[in-house]
């Protein structure tokens, strides 16, 4: 089987199906462009057509090192989400105690995990 008839995931029918890239039209944007304005990482964008359900969508191919860096941050993101959930819970507990007129129990300060990356914004 040649790559031309390779099975790929279709977001329309949510199964692996035979898909075909659509030709680029004059009004289409460039095929290779930065993911965001001013960003060095470029993606290769293409429009695809599913031969099973007829769905048309845009996909992007990304450099493997970029995808690996995103996957490496997945555990850190999950830890940050857990910390936010805990802080929301503690804040809700304090508010509930205040509304009931009961002094909130003394809690020890939480230690926030230091991350390797800082938000540049």
Which of 64, 113, 55 is closest to 84 using CA atoms? 113
Residue 113 — φ and ψ, nearest 5°?
A: -65, 135
**Residue 39 to residues 29, 31, 42, 59, Cα–Cα distance (Å):** 17, 16, 8, 19
Quote the mean pLDDT of the chain: 80
pTM of the model: 0.51
pLDDT in tens, 31-83: 777 777 777 788 888 888 999 999 999 888 888 988 898 888 998 899 999 99
Strand partners, 16: 9
Return the domain boundaries, the chain: 3-62, 73-100
Token duo for residue 92: 């809700």
């Amino acid at each position: 089987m040649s790559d031309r008839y390779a099975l790929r995931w279709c977001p329309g029918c949510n199964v692996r199906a035979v898909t075909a890239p659509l030709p680029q039209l004059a009004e289409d944007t460039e095929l290779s462009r930065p993911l965001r304005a001013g960003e060095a990482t470029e993606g290769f964008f293409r429009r695809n057509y599913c031969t099973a359900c007829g769905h048309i969508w845009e996909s992007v191919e990304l450099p493997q090192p970029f995808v690996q860096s995103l996957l490496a941050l997945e555990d850190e993101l999950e830890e940050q989400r857990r910390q936010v959930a805990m802080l929301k819970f503690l804040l809700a507990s304090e508010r509930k105690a205040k509304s009931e007129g009961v002094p909130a129990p003394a809690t020890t300060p939480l230690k926030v995990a230091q991350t390797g990356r800082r938000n540049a914004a």
